[in-house]
Structure 1
């Protein structure tokens, strides 16, 4: 599962508070792979199979641009946890996935 990063927020989202609250600013200064500040749309999760992602990375390694900074990850989790548009099942999965990353990071730094 994943979210799309957009260069701006469209007018439809701007006019709907529940969707607007799910937009997370991703700063270019924290993400060298971005050309400018962008927005992570946490209002709609997109499903990708592991096979699809593996194939994409194998056939087009430049498609893997980087990771979200810790600050952007925290903002994303806040938006996901407060979401009115995501299924509770997706909120739980996303939280668990990033909880595991945080635990791994803490173990690796010891």
Structure 2
């Protein structure tokens, strides 16, 4: 199974979020050790993020008319890169605990990559996920 290509969007339960819940996330890249980097997709922008210009500038809107799994305007929360093992994602997909929901369209993916590469929030090592 060739899972987790850049731009793929998945849905799974995250016990690490506050509160724990099901969330959408988009794959942004993969490193040489077979870890995938991803950004969460949120329904709203947290007030803390709204007060921080650098973080707020990394909240990319995506529209429900462009993505059939969305029922309202949502935001790719691209201020913080999260990482998981690609092998874990493949296993979750095979047992059904994670579902693939779609793929970012080319314009949204380009906008996201350009913003991430230009952001001071990421180290050069993290930016390698975006190249």
Q: TM-score range by the shorter chain?
A: 0.7 to 0.9
The number of aligned residues is: 95
Over the residues paired in the alignment, what is the CA RMSD in angstroms? 1.4
Equivalent residue runs for 1:35-54 within 5 Å: 35-54=71-90
1:76 is aligned to 2:123? no
SS of match in other structure, 2:125: helix
Q: 1:74 Cα shift?
A: 1.3
Q: 1:6 Cα shift?
A: 0.3
Judge conservation of contact 1:19–1:43 (CA < 8 Å) in 2. Answer: yes
The TM-score normalised by the length of structure 2 is 0.68
Listed as ranges, the gaps of 5+ residues in structure 1 are 96-110
1:56 maps to which residue?
Answer: 92
If each structure's helix is expressed as a fraction of its own residues, which one has the higher value?
1
CA distance in 2, matches of 1:2, 1:62: 14
The TM-score normalised by the length of structure 1 is 0.80
If each structure's strand is expressed as a fraction of its own residues, which one has the higher value?
2
CA distance in 2, matches of 1:50, 1:24: 24
CA distance in 1, matches of 2:97, 2:67: 18
